[in-house]
Amino acid sequence: MDEPQGETVNRGPIVVVTGAGSGIGRAVAARFAAAGSSLLVHTGHRAAAAAETCDLVRSQGVSATPLVADLASDAGQDRLLQLAWEQYGHVDVWVNSAGVDILTGKAAAASFEEKLEALWQVDVRATIRLSRGVGRCMQTRGSGVIINVGWDQAEQGMAGDSGEMFAATKGAIMAFSRSLAQSLAPHVRVNCVAPGWIKTAWGEQASATWQKRAADESLVGRWGTAADVAEAVYFLATPQAAFINGQVIAVNGGWRRSPASVS
């Protein structure tokens, strides 16, 4: 695991973003950096991706520290928590956006059981353990914000292997976030964003059928972007959202059931 390499430039609020090497996580890191926050940029294995995100953050004139930790293991999760607090002494905002990509690359050929296990370990178990650990530290300090990532269709379901897996795992995170908010109130807020069809790696290579379905299932008639999700995450972390707690916020342009989604 890479040790953190801190910066001495301007430090605003301290924000940790897991899974920040690409996609939604990178967009979230960039949004907080644009507002003057100092970032701890986590990736699971890709040190080069963490470095790229840190370069993007530093271009905004704020501090960026890369953290590489395998969130599939308890040791990796615990090490991430330790390094985060060692670096700055506290964290103001923690965003759990790390998730396993089971739709592209070698993982796409894995069995249902293998994919489910990978999702459970990183998307669910790591999010729960990190949130609980972060929450205890924030409670001791008397303030903090935790934001998790769910899925907009988890509550109504979607047919198919991917739909079953994501509904089970992301639905668990959504339910957990509501409960953790009650455990940590009143000084630590916990919310969850539930993205819809967001054009990340899989969306870029999706077939024409899926491209049409994604547009049809949003009331605004288009794919969402990582920046759309980042704006929602950023807002939930600001004082303007101080009275929003224990909520799951859909970021999908307004969902509607298209003919293609009816099985």
β-sheet bridge partners, residue 160: none
Q: Rounded to whole angstroms, how far apart are CA atoms 263 and 258?
A: 11
Q: Are strands 93-96 and 64-68 parallel, antiparallel or unpaired?
A: unpaired
- In the chain the domains, ranked by start, together with CATH numbers, are 14-261 (3.40.50.720)
Q: Looking at the DSSP assignment, which residues form a beta bridge with residue 41?
A: 17, 66
pTM of the full structure:
0.91
Cα–Cα distance for residue pair 39/93, rounded to 1 Å: 10
Q: What is the CA 24 to chain-centroid distance, rounded? A: 7
User: What would the pLDDT profile of 162-189 be if each residue is shown by its tens digit?
Assistant: 889 899 999 999 999 999 999 999 999 9
Residue range 99-116, pLDDT digits in tens: 888 777 787 888 999 999
DSSP 253: S
